[in-house]
A and B are shown apart, each in its own frame.
Chain A
Amino acid sequence: MSVLVLAEHDGKQLKPGVTNMLTAAAKLGDVTVLVAGTQASEAAQAAAKVAGVKKVLLTEAPIYEGSAAENLAALVLTIAEQYSHILGPASAFGKNVLPRVAASLDVQQISEISAVESPDTFVRPTYAGNAMATVQSSDRIKVITVRATAFDPAGEQGAAPVENLAPGPDLGLTQYKGSELSKSERPELTAARIIVSGGRGMGSAENFKLIEALADKLGAAVGASRAAVDSGFMPNEYQVGQTGKIVAPELYIAVGISGAIQHLAGMKDSKVIVAINKDAEAPIFSVASYWLVDDLFKAVPELTKELSS
């Protein structure tokens, strides 16, 4: 079995979750990592040092600026037939590119796997993680996206060889016009050891300062429920849930979050969950390791203060 993994990176480093995906890939066979971008050699060197990687393919060209789904899929297709499996992350990046690869190969993609049972059988969450489906693929090439939080990160190794791969065609279908990335000193949501999230109960964008103060005290990332995003308290990239980011930190503190099915889907695999809510009947308490029934506007500043002492 030979496995091609499409790496997500920022040019210099691999994105959080890629090493977890490589753990899943190593269960399937010999792993080749494809690192493509406008400038990506540092990221390719980083990929070469992840345990289990046999070879890294590096492609650098201006046509891979931005998300570049069409051109990236076309690049993967130039080498796809050499592999039994093609994997990508179940992130906004991977979800954008992989289905395009799958359809072009006439393959039914297997989305967001959480376990590898055998080379053709995988477990994947459906219905916001409320039903875990074990599926067997009859396709000749398996195209898969991987849920990073379901796998441990792979360790390190002596560097595998890095080879150049010629760029694929430029389809010229889309023009990249730039991006606005949130700048934050805090850890990235999907890589954070601790996350403090706020929900509709926060009442306003202004009140999220309470969440940020607690997060900074803990060295944590800040998250938000879909209700808080819907209400305009926080930008969408902070959204944790079925339709946002899937996280599984060591500690997840849910503040003023009632616990809608779609939010639970994004965080219920966290190791320790703390819920603070004034409603004693809030569904979030059903998944909480520790819960406190209290007014968040009193409890959160108190918690921040208690942690300082």
Chain B
Amino acid sequence: MKVLVTVKRVIDPYVKVRVKSDGSGVETANIKMTMNPFCEIAVEQAVRMKEAGVVTEIVVVSVGAQQSQETLRTAMAMGADRGILVDAGVDVEPLAVAKLLKAIIAKENPQLVITGKQAIDDDSNQTGQMISALMGWPQATFISTITVNGDTADVTREIDGGLEKLTIKLPAVVTSDLRLNEPRYVTLPNIMKAKKKPMEVIKPDALGVDVTPRLKVLKVQEPPSRSAGVKVADVKELVAKLKNEARVI
């Protein structure tokens, strides 16, 4: 079975982002970038399924700028077999990403598509569901387990009140939640090997997809900051403050 995994290059989650002073976006120059953590979990899942003999080939796809090739190389160092970069620049909206992926899926014919549940930059949480809708395929979002049985898969989804179990027909799209697995660290020999794996770079035009944004960003601002707090000396003082000052207990 062939699996297609999507990866996105994002600002490192441990970096404090700064809004540009002109309100046009956030500072990205000279900032540490990394693979979106949920995409890492998605890649890891595909690699584990390959190691278990369920998957025969892993194609990893990114939509972004040229630098996203580094992210694809990381995915290949984790164990993906080949990479495809859709060189569409940054800030491509989820709908356009889903359309690009649909065009690639039509060429590659994977049985399973794994995406991260959300990218931690734009926080949209849309792409996997949109790919699934455009393909007319089943979807299982926010999964914490997956077992493939022939032409179906059993999945566990993380929902607000607990867990949900589904059986989905393949081909399907699943999106990874936090507890699906713990991604491996890439080793130097595997990084070297990944450099030799095939990488294809295509333009959105070649896939016949218009990536013009539908949303116009009018401005980007810092969130309102909280007023400075008070350090209390002990539990007694804390309780007194909560009762008499904040009046919340």
Chain A min CB distance to B208 (Å): 15
* Nearest B residue (CB) for A302: B235
Q: Give the interface segment out of A45-53, A78-86, A108-116, A159-167.
A: A108-116
Chain A min CB distance to B15 (Å): 8
Map CB proximity to A onto B139-152 as digits: 1 under 8 Å, 0 otherwise. Answer: 11110100000000
> Does B164 touch A at the CB level, under 8 Å?
yes
On chain A, the residues within 8 Å of B216 by CB distance are 135-138
Chain A min CB distance to B124 (Å): 5
On chain B, the residues within 8 Å of A213 by CB distance are none
On chain B, the residues within 8 Å of A131 by CB distance are 17, 19, 25-26, 220-223
On chain B, the residues within 8 Å of A293 by CB distance are 231
On chain B, the residues within 8 Å of A226 by CB distance are 178
**Given A91-B160, A251-B242, A174 contacting B134 (CB threshold 8 A):** no
Q: Give the interface segment out of A19-27, A55-63, A200-208, A266-274.
A: A266-274
> Does B34 touch A at the CB level, under 8 Å?
no
What CA separation (Å) do A110 and B240 show in the bound complex? 43
Q: Is the CB of A132 within 8 A of B221?
A: yes
Q: Is the CB of B123 within 8 A of A69?
A: no
Q: Is the CB of B231 within 8 A of A67?
A: no
On chain A, the residues within 8 Å of B234 by CB distance are 292, 294
Of B154, B169, B221, the contact of A173 (CB 8 Å cutoff) = B169
Q: Is the CB of A111 within 8 A of B221?
A: no
Q: Is the CB of B162 within 8 A of A288?
A: no
Chain B min CB distance to A191 (Å): 11
Tally of chain A residues near chain B (CB < 8 A): 89
Q: Is the CB of A303 within 8 A of B217?
A: no
On chain A, the residues within 8 Å of B165 by CB distance are 176-180
> Does A210 touch B at the CB level, under 8 Å?
no
Chain B min CB distance to A278 (Å): 14
> Does A156 touch B at the CB level, under 8 Å?
no
Of A92, A242, A287, the contact of B142 (CB 8 Å cutoff) = A92
Q: Is the CB of B13 within 8 A of A179?
A: no
Chain B min CB distance to A143 (Å): 10
On chain B, the residues within 8 Å of A294 by CB distance are 234-235
Chain B min CB distance to A186 (Å): 13
Tell me the interface secondary structure of chain A in the complex: mixed
Chain A contacts with B in 277-309, Cβ cutoff 8 A: 285, 287-294, 299, 302-303, 306-307
> Does B40 touch A at the CB level, under 8 Å?
no
Chain A min CB distance to B188 (Å): 26
Of A121, A129, A237, A251, the contact of B161 (CB 8 Å cutoff) = A237
What CA separation (Å) do A287 and B223 show in the bound complex? 12
Q: Is the CB of B142 within 8 A of A137?
A: no
Chain B contacts with A in 208-245, Cβ cutoff 8 A: 213-223, 226, 229-232, 234-236, 238-239, 241-242
Chain B min CB distance to A114 (Å): 9
Chain A min CB distance to B16 (Å): 7
**Given A96-B129, A229-B178, A235 contacting B166 (CB threshold 8 A):** no
Q: Is the CB of A67 within 8 A of B157?
A: yes
Chain A min CB distance to B101 (Å): 11
Of B144, B159, B217, the contact of A93 (CB 8 Å cutoff) = B159
Tally of chain B residues near chain A (CB < 8 A): 81
Chain A min CB distance to B36 (Å): 11
Chain B min CB distance to A170 (Å): 13
Q: Is the CB of A70 within 8 A of B138?
A: yes
* Nearest A residue (CB) for B248: A251
What CA separation (Å) do A261 and B141 show in the bound complex? 24
Chain B min CB distance to A263 (Å): 11
Of B133, B164, B222, B231, the contact of A100 (CB 8 Å cutoff) = B133
Q: Is the CB of A136 within 8 A of B218?
A: yes
On chain B, the residues within 8 Å of A152 by CB distance are none
Chain A contacts with B in 92-129, Cβ cutoff 8 A: 92-93, 95-104, 106-112, 121, 125-129
On chain B, the residues within 8 Å of A302 by CB distance are 235
On chain B, the residues within 8 Å of A173 by CB distance are 137-138, 168-169, 172
Chain B min CB distance to A306 (Å): 5
Chain B min CB distance to A250 (Å): 5
> Does A194 touch B at the CB level, under 8 Å?
yes
Q: Is the CB of B133 within 8 A of A111?
A: no
> Does B98 touch A at the CB level, under 8 Å?
yes
Q: Is the CB of A291 within 8 A of B178?
A: no
> Does B87 touch A at the CB level, under 8 Å?
no
Chain B min CB distance to A285 (Å): 7
15 sample A-B contacts, Cβ–Cβ < 8 Å, listed by A number: A96-B129, A96-B142, A97-B129, A103-B130, A107-B95, A108-B94, A127-B121, A128-B123, A131-B221, A139-B214, A174-B140, A180-B165, A236-B179, A243-B178, A291-B229
Given contacts A135-B215, A177-B154, 16 further A-B pairs with CB under 8 A are: A93-B159, A96-B129, A99-B129, A104-B133, A106-B95, A108-B94, A127-B17, A130-B17, A132-B220, A133-B220, A134-B217, A135-B218, A174-B166, A194-B249, A230-B178, A236-B144
Which 6 A-B pairs have CB atoms at the shortest separation, nearest pair first?
A173-B138, A99-B129, A108-B214, A103-B130, A99-B126, A177-B165
